[in-house]
Structure 1
Amino acid sequence: MTRVPRIQLNDGHSIPQLGFGVFKVDPAETERIVTDALEVGYRHIDTARIYGNEEGVGRAIAASGIPREELFITTKLWNDDQGATTTPGAFDRSLERLGLDYVDLYLIHWPTPANDRYVETWNTFVELRETGRVRSIGVSNFLAHHLERLVDESDVPPAVDQIELHPYHQQPATAAFAEQHEIKIEAWGPLGQGKYPLFELPEVTSAASAHGASPAQVVLRWHLQRGHIVIPKSNRRERMVENLDVFDFELNDDEMAAITGLEREGRVGTHPDEFN
């Protein structure tokens, strides 16, 4: 089984650097797909309430026979559940759907700035962490100015900011602020979600040829060497294996710089200041 390195978080816990995401995974197929992921070696599973597949993730975990302490499970609070009075109940329901006593990481899914509840919600997350039913707390899709409010208005910084990040959209301002405050960056859509021809670019294909790797493996390796936590997804077992098989080669400085040079603010998802 591939041994995935762990990244130390600012709260004393650690997270497997490579995980498996279930965004847009059909709830009816989730148990089978997550079972495949666990069988090929993934131990970090990332879901969310809005994905509608927490139950399937929970069933796969329960049937796996893998000790709970060997797993790292993330879920997320959806936007309409933000607020001091609604967040605890939403968290309880996620735990129930997952069939777990605790989650390893709980994220605010979007800042939804028009509602202006993310600071209030964050302070409620801090209280949830103190119950022991969530080990680490963080955010998703937060830009630098959203993070700055949390840092200024709370004594507890997020452990993780999960953001859209791939070679065409690297979010340098958010990444720099996160690094300054020891907030780890976790990349969703790490391969560009098929919206850009990353796998056809010479910066990627030349490195793939040099290392006997696929273009996808090269992009994932770029993330890992940048220090990102990364959560690729696939419904196909052979692709799950391929995405996990990225620890036996290393990109050189020139290859890393060439891929980093692809930045062009190529956002795939909605802008966090506009998603409410």
Structure 2
Amino acid sequence: MILKETFTLSNGVSIPKLGLGTWRIEEAAVAQVVRNAIDVGYRHIDTAQAYENEHGVGEGLRASGLTRDALFVTTKLVAECKTYAEAKGRIDGSLRALGLDHIDLMLIHSPQPWSEFREGGHFHEGNLEAWRALEDAYAAGKLRAIGVSNFERGDLDNLIDNGAVAPMVNQILAHVGNTPFDLIDYSRGKGMLVEAYSPVAHGGLMKNTALAAIADRYAASIPQLCIRYCLQLGLLPLPKTVNADHMRSNAAVDFVISDADMATLRGTENVAEYGDASMFPVFGKERQIEGATGTAP
């Protein structure tokens, strides 16, 4: 069962192969969602400072009754945090909000602030400042692993060439029809595990008839097919749902997509419509609602 399987990060830390994303789940609701996910069998929960639900996530973790070492928790520094002092304070703030003595994985959420995402600025100096704060927290045992999210090749090189510890994870948007193979291969070549957020394109692939036909061959749903696709590429998918039945379904992916069908899926053009998530920068500047500056998964 996939919920019992793990990847191993470059520093030897084990990380469950499937996680639960918590983007856009409100603080008041997220504790029960997390508890439900843990009851289903999830052991990997992904949150972020920008989601404004860390406190509720921590409540859900404690309510599960499981020991701390049975759970893997990821959070992320806000994208606008580009100084050592602020990053240091925010790391401690996440520990307090989550109610934990350590965090399993902490990421820099974006190489640029969301208002300037992919607009040409690199923020190399600021990213190094934030990264050094993560490195120090890692050395102090506050964090078991450190990494990044939404980082491209130049952003990664900046940390690899100038930091003391190489990133262990790069969490990126990846799904059928939008799989950045060059970035995935580059990240892996530098020793990183690649995580895939929005593996079902924020629901944008649910009505795709071509995917439905492939899924039918495996008696699977489109979300199951998309999650399995990521897993067979060696990615760690982070589907988000508040529905316990969907959590179970998303984890029922113990089938194997054939080489021929994987080739078809790899070659699928991006036809996903991201709906109300289109306003967020990571879903494509051309799709972004003019003036929107929201946070990302």
TM range (shorter): over 0.9
Give the CA deviation at 1:166.
0.7
Are residues 1:215 and 2:222 paired? yes
- Which residue in the other structure is 2:281 paired with? 270
Paired amino acid for 1:216? P
Choose which of 132, 142, 150 in structure 1 pairs with 2:151: 142
- Which residue in the other structure is 1:201 paired with? 209
In 2, distance between residues paired with 1:55 and 1:71? 16
The answer on whether the counterparts of 2:74 and 2:105 sit within 8 Å (CA) in structure 1 is: yes
Are residues 1:167 and 2:176 paired? yes
**Which string of whole-angstrom CA distances, capped at 9 and with x for unpartnered residues, describes residues 134-186 of structure 1?**
00000011011111111111232110000111112111221121021111110
- Which residue in the other structure is 2:5 paired with? 5
Give the CA deviation at 1:124.
1.9
Higher alpha-carbon deviation: 150-159 or 223-232: 150-159
**Residues 114 and 142 (structure 1), Cα distance of their counterparts in 2 relative to 1, 3 Å cut:** closer
- Which residue in the other structure is 1:235 paired with? 242
**Which string of whole-angstrom CA distances, capped at 9 and with x for unpartnered residues, describes residues 190-209 of structure 1?**
110123x454232x223321
Paired amino acid for 1:200? N
Give the CA deviation at 1:79.
2.4
In 2, distance between residues paired with 1:136 and 1:200? 37
Paired amino acid for 2:227? L
Paired amino acid for 2:262? M
In 2, distance between residues paired with 1:183 and 1:237? 31
Give the CA deviation at 1:83.
1.2
SS at match of 1:193: helix
Listed as ranges, the matches of 1:1-276 within 5 Å are 3-112=3-112, 113=121, 115-116=123-124, 117-195=126-204, 197=205, 199-202=207-210, 204-247=211-254, 249-264=255-270, 269-270=280-281
> Unmatched 5+ residue regions in structure 1?
none
> Unmatched 5+ residue regions in structure 2?
113-120, 286-292
Q: Give the alignment's TM-score, normalised by structure 1.
A: 0.92
The alignment-based identity, stated in percent, is 34
Give the CA deviation at 1:273.
11
The answer on whether the counterparts of 1:178 and 1:184 sit within 8 Å (CA) in structure 2 is: yes
**Residues 11 and 28 (structure 1), Cα distance of their counterparts in 2 relative to 1, 3 Å cut:** same
SS at match of 1:42: coil
**Which string of whole-angstrom CA distances, capped at 9 and with x for unpartnered residues, describes residues 28-52 of structure 1?**
1111111111111100000001101
In 1, distance between residues paired with 2:2 and 2:182? 33
In 1, distance between residues paired with 2:88 and 2:221? 43
The answer on whether the counterparts of 1:141 and 1:272 sit within 8 Å (CA) in structure 2 is: no
The answer on whether the counterparts of 2:3 and 2:42 sit within 8 Å (CA) in structure 1 is: no
The answer on whether the counterparts of 2:2 and 2:17 sit within 8 Å (CA) in structure 1 is: no
